[in-house]
């Protein structure tokens, strides 16, 4: 039996510290991670910045569900369950907006004691070929919201890819908001 002491994932990374991976909602995405072929990997783990529980933990030649974040259960696996040729890449199935974030691949190896090696840091984003959602909110007779989509040629800089649903309580004037969205949505208002 091995006992691992894990250091929390640091969320303060410069853009040059990670790779960018793009995917679309509902699709599967592979987050790459490769160890040197001669490295004896005892266990490995995928974590996401901001989560206390891990995304995927593999040890004793199997996935270990203890301590796994519930939102990833049944949606993640290794591309190579025997970790042959140093391949520690993870498959994330049925991607959602909640999956967007920074991921870290860690391998645990036996050296003179126990070693921890950060092999890969991935920033998972939405596909640039996604849709833009335009929302107009205002006051007529009652509060209303009109949602329309349009194809975007270029992504909006510094916009979030998460849609937050809020009940409209007060609106004094017409506001227009444009956010990047990842797939077509249909609203019943």
CATH number reported for the structural domain that contains residue 23 in this entry = 2.60.40.10
1 domain residue, yes or no = no
What's the Cα-to-Cα distance from 136 to each of 163, 168, 172, 175, rounded to whole Å?
14, 12, 13, 6
Q: What is the pLDDT of residues 161-173, one digit of tens each?
A: 333 333 333 333 3
What's the predicted TM-score (pTM) here?
A: 0.57
Q: Is the pLDDT of residue 15 over 70?
A: no
41-48 and 143-151 beta bridge pairing: unpaired
| Integer Cα distance of 71 and 127 in angstroms | 21
pLDDT at position 117 is 61
Residue 189, number of CB atoms within 10 A of its CB: 6
In a domain, 98, yes or no: yes
Residue 65 lies in a domain: yes
Same domain, 45 and 107: yes
Specify whether 55 is located in the same domain as 28: yes
CB atoms within 10 A of CB 139: 13
Same domain, 64 and 156: no
Residues 17-51: tens digit of each pLDDT? 567 888 888 889 999 888 887 778 888 899 998 89
pLDDT classification of 141: cutoffs 50, 70, 90: very low
Residue range(s) defining the domain that contains residue 47: 17-126
């Amino acid at each position: 039996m091995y006992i691992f002491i894990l250091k929390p994932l640091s969320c303060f990374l410069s853009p040059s510290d990670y790779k960018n991976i793009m995917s679309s909602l509902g699709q599967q995405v592979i987050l790459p991670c490769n160890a040197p072929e001669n490295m004896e990997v005892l266990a490995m783990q995928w974590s996401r910045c901001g989560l206390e529980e891990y995304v995927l933990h593999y040890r004793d030649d199997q996935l270990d569900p203890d301590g796994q974040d519930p939102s990833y259960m049944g949606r993640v696996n290794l591309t190579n369950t025997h970790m042959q040729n140093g391949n520690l890449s993870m498959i994330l199935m049925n991607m959602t907006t909640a999956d967007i974030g920074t991921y870290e691949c860690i391998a645990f190896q036996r050296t003179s004691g126990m070693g921890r090696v950060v092999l890969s840091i991935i920033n998972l984003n939405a596909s640039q070929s996604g849709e833009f959602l335009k929302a107009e909110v205002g006051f007529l007779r009652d509060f209303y919201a009109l949602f329309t989509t349009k194809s975007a040629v270029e992504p909006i800089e510094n916009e979030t890819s998460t849609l937050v649903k809020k009940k409209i309580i007060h609106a004094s004037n017409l506001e227009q908001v444009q956010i990047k969205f990842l797939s077509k949505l249909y609203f019943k208002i």
